[in-house]
């Protein structure tokens, strides 16, 4: 029960934060946005239509997609995220005249990116979304196996380019700055700020290296049976996941034991298990 309370509290808080950011920083500076909200914002600038109500109407077919292709839980979380975000956008629209950065569009883009990134990150971390491009991108990924991040960026760029035809180039630039910062912060909230690295080490002294890593760092090490493709020499391959701060120590241990140790180091965006936080 506690888990669900925290999850839905994150959705509510995330939706409220994102809506406030929209009304305090995007709307006063005539910035654009991605997704169906971006279309609603363009129509708001042109015809003074309420953004939240438009967003709900635009998302009706999206909700059908969410239910038909992704099931009831995804459908419910999409309704919740979309509904709350749309409701809060119209509820907090009175804040627009009180923007603290009306004459500073660059700072507005940066602050909006950070705040919106936190808000949308909380929503996504709670396994919800705000409909629109998120669901469309997820569907395209499901049907055609395209990268979901690439699809969301492409869809958002199309909307920004459409807005560019109606507004000036400067607005588009600030919007892209806002969207980039929002995406970076969003990603940090979802995956966590503590970066992790996965390391594979190929060495003739793998077991000795593994023993010292476990002794000095207290990290678990997985030994995988490997075989050279050319020499057919059998070796133990080490696989380790560590925090970024431990990476240099791992390399130091391995190279002190075997100067010829072969490393493969890559980013591990999400790690669940003993010794790591759950995301």
**Is residue 95 located within the same domain as residue 160?**
yes
Residues 20 and 126 in one domain: yes
Please report the pLDDT score of residue 149 as a whole number. Answer: 61
- Look at residue 105 and tell me if it is in a domain: yes
pTM for the structure as a whole: 0.79
Its domain, for residue 235, covers: 196-268
Sign of CA dihedral 128, 132, 137, 140: positive
Do 80 and 151 lie in one domain? The reply is yes
DSSP 8-state symbol, 229: T
Of 191, 215, 239, at which residue does a domain stop? Answer: 191
Q: Confirm if 237 and 206 have CB atoms less than 8 A apart.
A: yes
* Token digits of residue 256: 């002190």
Q: How many CA atoms lie within 13 A of 260 on its CB side?
A: 3
Classify the C-alpha dihedral 150-193-27-175 as positive or negative: negative
Low-confidence ranges of the chain (pLDDT < 70): 145-150, 191-194, 269-270, 274-279
Q: Are residues 168 and 240 in the same domain?
A: no
Domain boundary among 191, 225, 256: 191
- How does the average pLDDT of the chain come out, rounded? 89
Q: Which two tokens stand for residue 162?
A: 């459409």
Q: Whose CA is closest to 84, among 15, 179, 154?
A: 15
Q: Kindly give, in sequence order, each residue whose CB lies less than 8 Å from that of residue 138, ignoring residues fewer than 6 positions away.
A: 70, 148
Q: Indicate whether 245 belongs to any domain.
A: yes
The answer as to whether 279 is a domain residue is no
Burial state string for 212-251 with b = 16 or more CB within 10 A and e = fewer than 16: bbeeebebebeeeeeeeeeeeeebbbbebbbbeebbeebe
Task: List Cα–Cα distances, 243 to 184, 198, 212, 246, in angstroms.
Answer: 20, 9, 17, 5
**102 Cα distance to chain centroid:** 28
Q: Examine residue 274 and state whether it is found in any structural domain, yes or no.
A: no
Pairing, β 234-243 against β 222-227 = antiparallel
The alpha helices in the chain, defined as continuous H runs, are 2-21, 35-47, 51-58, 60-70, 72-91, 105-125, 133-144, 148-166, 169-191, 206-217, 247-257
CA–CA gap between residue 53 and residue 82 (Å, rounded):
11
Distance of CA 32 to the CA centre of its chain: 19
CA pseudo-torsion sign 147, 153, 158, 161: negative
């Amino acid at each position: 029960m506690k888990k669900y309370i925290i999850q839905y509290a994150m959705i509510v808080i995330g939706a409220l934060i994102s809506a406030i950011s929209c009304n305090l920083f995007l709307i006063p500076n005539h910035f654009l946005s991605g997704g169906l909200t971006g279309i609603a914002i363009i129509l708001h600038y042109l015809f003074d239509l309420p953004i939240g109500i438009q967003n709900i109407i635009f998302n009706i077919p999206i909700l059908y997609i969410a239910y038909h292709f992704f099931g009831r839980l995804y459908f419910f979380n999409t309704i919740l995220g979309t509904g709350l975000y749309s409701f809060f956008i119209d509820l907090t629209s009175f804040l627009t005249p009180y923007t603290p950065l009306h004459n500073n569009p660059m700072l507005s883009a940066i602050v909006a990116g950070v705040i919106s990134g936190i808000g949308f990150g909380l929503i996504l971390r709670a396994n919800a979304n705000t409909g629109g491009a998120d669901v469309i991108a997820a569907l395209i990924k499901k049907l055609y196996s395209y990268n979901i991040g690439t699809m969301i960026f492409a869809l958002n760029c199309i909307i920004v380019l459409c807005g560019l035809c109606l507004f000036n180039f400067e607005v588009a630039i600030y919007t892209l700055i806002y969207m980039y910062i929002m995406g970076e912060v969003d990603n940090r909230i979802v995956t966590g700020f503590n970066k992790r690295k996965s390391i594979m080490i190929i060495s003739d002294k793998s077991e000795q290296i593994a023993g010292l890593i476990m002794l000095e760092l207290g990290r678990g090490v997985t030994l995988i049976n490997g075989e050279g493709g050319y020499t057919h020499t059998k070796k133990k391959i080490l696989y380790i996941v560590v925090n970024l701060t431990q990476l240099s120590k791992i390399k130091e241990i391995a190279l002190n034991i075997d100067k010829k140790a072969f490393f493969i180091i890559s980013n591990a965006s999400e790690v669940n298990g003993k010794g790591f936080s759950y995301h």
